[in-house]
Amino acid sequence: MHVGFHMGPVVLHPYPIEQQWKEHLEQVRAARDHGFDFVSAGTHWVIHPFQYFNLIPWLARINGEVPEMTLVTSVVLLPLANPVDMAEKLATLDIMSGGKLKFGVGLGYRPLEYEFFGISLKHRAPRFEEALDLMKRLWTEDEVTHHGRFFNITGAKPTLKPLQKPYPPIWIATNSEPATRRAARMGDAPFWSPFQNVDVLKRHLDIYKDELKKVGKSWPKEVPMAREYSVGRTRAEAVRDGAAGMVEKFAAYAEHGLQGSLAEKDKKLLDEFETMSKDTFIVGDPAECAEEILRYREIAGITHMKLRLQYPGMSHAKTMERIKLTEQVIKRLPKD
């Protein structure tokens, strides 16, 4: 089991941005020293009230700080990217990391971000699929000509290709049936969403297996999952700290327009955090958290567990404490 430290949008404006960056470096060094295998971050633009660094340069600098750790994009919003530009950026990261990049990729959900780029939200799925197919060709072919619905390339001769062959593992974010089927068809693994409770996850596992069978593919070598996470020296501490941060974060998700998530459908349950956490979050003392991670391994064959440790309003000191405490969780997990 590989455990990852996820750094998402949690720091609120106007926290000193230089201090935030220094704390990020301290946190990833601590994550490395306490047994985490990978570090991840995602993509968002103009996401007030949070302060959020741009993904690609952030990961490149983090790689210089902790070259031992795998890098995970979690996730690139591919419909908003130029596939030629993104293919070369990710190839660069893969080379810089020594072939330790996982390409987490998804569609995104914020209408405002699509507006920023002048792209229609209704085109996000076909744009995603065309862009991903084109990136695979740019990574594997000596000359590429493509005239599609959204992108046109004539006689391109790519010279910057990933170190991993044929390309970095593609983890496709899943939060719906179409996304789950897309992950089976186009990806190397499903990247299970933190918004899926156990019952939803089991339904999507059946969908994923059905689609794998249809396209003649076998079960993937890697099965990553994202989970909201709160660890404490006691369960009571974990619940108290987790409830405070997660309620504020999910309220922000709802404000930003995330559809079909806990933020929208189960808002009332946020007041009953401990009950809700049982099938959706990983919460408890180190032994309980390890048991929950192993439960997902048993249910869905999870090999990579991405954990969010810091939440809005949580201090750097508290985050460092939780990183150190998670070492006790990691030591209870088998190494694949």
DSSP 30-72: HHHHTT--EEEE---SS-TTB----HHHHHHHHHHH-TTSEEE
Instruction: Give the Cβ contact number of residue 310 at 10 Å.
Output: 23
3-state secondary structure of 306: strand
Q: How far apart are CA 336 and CA 315, in angstroms?
A: 33
Q: How far is CA 202 from CA 11, 152, 236, 264, 311, in A?
A: 33, 39, 29, 21, 28
Q: How far apart are CA 152 and CA 137, in angstroms?
A: 13
Residue 120: predicted pLDDT = 96
Whether 100 contacts 131, CB under 8 Å: no
pLDDT along the chain (336 residues), means of 10: 94 94 98 98 92 96 98 98 98 98 96 96 97 98 98 97 98 96 98 93 98 98 96 93 74 57 48 73 96 97 97 92 98 91
Residue 279: predicted pLDDT = 83
Mind listing the domains of the chain with CATH numbers? 2-330 (3.20.20.30)
Bridge partner residues of 12 (DSSP): 50
Q: How far apart are CA 81 and CA 263, in angstroms?
A: 26
Q: How far is CA 98 from CA 137, 196, 260, in A?
A: 21, 33, 38
Q: Could you tell me whether strands 144-147 and 152-156 are parallel, antiparallel, or unpaired per DSSP bridges?
A: antiparallel
Residue 269: predicted pLDDT = 46
Residue 266: predicted pLDDT = 46
Q: How far is CA 225 from CA 89, 165, 174, 239, in A?
A: 24, 23, 10, 21
Q: How far apart are CA 166 and CA 83, in angstroms?
A: 17
Q: How far apart are CA 162 and CA 295, in angstroms?
A: 34
Bridge partner residues of 171 (DSSP): 104, 189
Rounded to 5 degrees, what angle do the CA atoms 128, 130, 136 make?
Answer: 100
- Token code pair at residue 69: 């750790």
Residue 261: predicted pLDDT = 47
Residue 249: predicted pLDDT = 64
